[in-house]
Amino acid sequence: MTGVRTATLVVVLVASALLAALELMLQPLYVGAWPAPVGTVIALMSMPWLVRTAAGTFPSVLAAGSPIIVWVVVVLVLGSGSDVLLPATWQSLLLALAALGAGLYALRGVVMAQGRSTGAGSAHG
């Protein structure tokens, strides 16, 4: 059973890396003269799902936060190469804030749920 859980976590982490690359590529899109940061929309929808899926696979904060870590590493590596996929624009900042915000908010929910399930933080008088 542990092998299946490990494989599931690996799939979640690969999905996080691929989604980070896709979001970087779609972020600078324009519809006519208007910017359409599609990467931000994808990040807002996918990051909480990745964090919750990782947390459901292994009940640890590190496992739950691992998709966020993988996303940041991929964005930093791909965004700072010779082909700059992460230009210094408001769209890039929006992508980073949205993805990290959504991921950290989901991670907070996971941590709080784990605390409730273990009884931590309850007041005993």
Give per-residue burial for 8-42: e unless 16+ CB within 10 Å, then b: ebeebbebbbebbbebbebbbeeeeeeeebbbbeb
- Structural domain contains residue 122: no
- Structural domain contains residue 123: no
The DSSP secondary-structure symbol of 27 reads T
40-81: pLDDT as tens digits: 999 999 999 999 999 999 888 999 999 999 999 999 998 776
Of the chain, the percentage scoring pLDDT greater than 90 comes to: 55
70-109: pLDDT as tens digits: 999 999 998 776 666 677 788 889 999 999 999 999 999 9
- Structural domain contains residue 10: yes
- Structural domain contains residue 25: yes
- Structural domain contains residue 124: no
- Structural domain contains residue 125: no
pLDDT score of 121: 52
Structural domains of the chain, count: 1
Q: Quote the domain boundaries for residue 9.
A: 2-117
pLDDT score of 46: 96
- Structural domain contains residue 70: yes
- Structural domain contains residue 43: yes
What's the pTM value of the predicted model, to 2 decimals? 0.85
Q: What 3-state DSSP class applies to 123?
A: coil
The CB density around residue 78, as the number of other CB atoms within 10 Å, is 17
